[in-house]
Structure 1
């Protein structure tokens, strides 16, 4: 039973978001940690630490197939909650603001990230670009809502960045767990290699990348069309899960061309897919479809009878 409690405690920890705000310094905590002190890969490390705990439960616990189904369902529900409330955007924090707890006392003085904030403001003012993930996220997150002249706006952006990284890490965990779930009927869990995540089962699917010579939003428009017209399907019975599985597949197996012409893995796809589907972006979707139709016509006309 101790193993079950340890696993359940680890799952609950991974699926919890607790946000607090210290007004005197205008800084946030996420799950008792200061936001500015959390590295970009913090949650990915948490996920990697959880994997052997889960595999130990599956190897030594009872009813492993039933257990992995329950875990997969819990993670999926958390991802759907985050996506439904537009994680990574200002709308998510507007929704979540009532659950942010104010605190009035602290025991340790946190890093405020002021050096980066000063550099960031200077770069924005001089229209310079920076390839760091945090910089790119803050620019995209603002979307006309912020100009980051106030430190509190910067603090909100950093909080959103950390929550976005949490979502991406949870997506990675879902891919891992759903792979175990898919292979469960064919796997003897008693033979799981607990320490080596690369060899979690004898039947894990090969991680194959498909390279698209398109930018990220064009890939979103293409797959929105394929999904809506039912040219591809992952779940015939559950439309919501069908879309979720599509996004997971794209994030696991596709690359796109960035503005420098480099091939980049699609780490997260929810934002672009939502933009392609948005009612306010119909004209852009039509433009892509028209271009797609033109390409098909050109290809058709090139074929010889």
Structure 2
């Protein structure tokens, strides 16, 4: 059963637009957009797994959606350079992408309610599952805590940990499967948003762009995945960094997701890993990796770190008090 499909009018519109543009690039772009926005979700009885567009969830964990988005950007770049009626085409494309994003929100893609809200077809046991890395392997690695640090699986682990209560602490493989589906849906939503923002940027500048002279500069300027030149250095050890960001998050100085507390913590960990360096005992600057471990230790109420957290707060109070005393009225 297919869900979140394009309306007939949208498909006809894109096919008509193909006639006014370079056929090769327009056709390829449209097909790539169809492939990204069409979504099929099924449950395979044979191996008790969910299939997304006839593929196991593990297929999407690495760079599947990122590659799709990058391909569409490149095709769209060539299409705009050779085609016509850019504003109308981009406006329609925006509508298609925004409709998909709206559907994900309507289905509550971040919640366990997602499985009740959307239509999922059950495939009979006679169906032969697709070839690919079995989710059973990931499930065993998850249970045995044998995830490779700093790998893509590590990111999946953090996501799954934020849903442990909702999925019964993953006592069975089916709950693990559902957790993987929600993770893939989060990747899917992110990919759609990146592409939507990219198209919107071009659309807003469409009247000022000479598409005949369009180069890859526009592509790079609107690409949110550009590599940063440097991270911010923090003059604290790794554990103290965890104490600091725990305070900032729990006191609502930093907010990443106002609706989902678990996802709020997850996004904080990603933010710290992607943007900060800590200082080790040798005064060396090192990137923060595997931050989940330190943060879990300092935030656990039963951890020995509770005493150290209080000590960190006392030091912070003394520092702020000293700063306050230096300020003249």
Mark the structure with the bigger radius of gyration. 2
CA distance in 2, matches of 1:257, 1:100: 37
Aligned to 2:143: 121
Q: Return 5+ residue gaps in structure 1 as ranges.
A: 225-250, 265-297
Aligned to 1:175: 197
The number of residues matched between the two structures is 239
Post-superposition Cα deviations, 1:114-169, rounded to whole Å, max 9, x if no partner, equal 23312211339xxx996511111111133343221211111111222222211121
Contact residue 211 and residue 256 of structure 1 kept, 8 A: no
Aligned to 1:257: 272
Aligned to 1:101: 121
Matches within 5 A, 1:106-255: 106=128, 108-123=130-145, 132-193=154-215, 196=216, 199-200=217-218, 215=245, 218=249, 221=252
* TM-score calculated relative to the size of structure 1: 0.63
Change in Cα spacing, 1:52 to 1:116, as seen in structure 2 (3 Å) is: same
Contact residue 187 and residue 201 of structure 1 kept, 8 A: no
Correspondence 1:20 to 2:42: yes
Q: Return 5+ residue gaps in structure 2 as ranges.
A: 1-18, 235-243, 256-266, 279-286, 290-321
Residue 87 of structure 2 aligns to a residue in which SS?
helix
Change in Cα spacing, 1:178 to 1:42, as seen in structure 2 (3 Å) is: same
CA distance in 2, matches of 1:130, 1:42: 21
Residue 111 of structure 1 aligns to a residue in which SS?
coil
CA distance in 1, matches of 2:207, 2:186: 33
Shift of residue 208, structure 1, vs aligned partner: 10
Contact residue 51 and residue 57 of structure 2 kept, 8 A: yes
Residue 86 of structure 1 aligns to a residue in which SS?
coil
Shift of residue 66, structure 1, vs aligned partner: 2.3
Counterpart selection for 2:33 from 11, 20, 25 = 11
Shift of residue 28, structure 1, vs aligned partner: 1.7
Shift of residue 188, structure 1, vs aligned partner: 0.8
